[in-house]
């Protein structure tokens, strides 16, 4: 009974918590091309190591970020535009 009560409490908290990433904007390659050359653009390549290594396509000047290590953004100005490349 105690486990069921704990589960119900956890579920009610989760249901009341708004999702932080409900809507993440997605851009197509033409939108990205329009931003290339921008002074404050930072492209973070967040593909898995295997996908990144196997790919013949890499965006010039993209910063390779190991999985789950997005703390790298701390080194950039707040005005930076971050694009996560994951395809």
Q: What is the mean pLDDT of the chain?
A: 77
- Residues, the chain: 87
For residues 32 and 8, give the distance between their C-alpha atoms in angstroms, rounded to a whole number. 44
Residue pair 81/38 in contact (Cβ under 8 Å)? The answer is: yes
Task: Supply the pLDDT for residue 21.
Answer: 52
Using one digit for the tens of pLDDT, what is the confidence trace for 54-63?
999 888 889 8
For the chain, give me the number of helices (H) and strands (E)? 3, 3
CA dihedral over 28, 29, 33, 36, signed as positive or negative? positive
Question: Mean pLDDT across the stretch 5-28?
Answer: 60
Residue pair 43/83 in contact (Cβ under 8 Å)? The answer is: yes
Is the predicted pLDDT of residue 6 greater than 50, yes or no? no
């Amino acid at each position: 009974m105690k486990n069921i009560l704990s589960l119900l409490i956890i579920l009610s908290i989760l249901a009341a918590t708004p999702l932080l990433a409900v809507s993440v904007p997605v851009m197509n390659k033409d939108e990205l091309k329009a931003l290339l050359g921008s002074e404050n653009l930072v492209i973070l390549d967040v593909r898995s190591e295997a996908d990144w290594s196997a790919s013949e396509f890499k965006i010039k000047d993209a910063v390779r970020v190991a999985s789950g290590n997005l703390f790298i953004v701390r080194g950039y100005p707040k005005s930076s535009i971050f694009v996560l490349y994951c395809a």
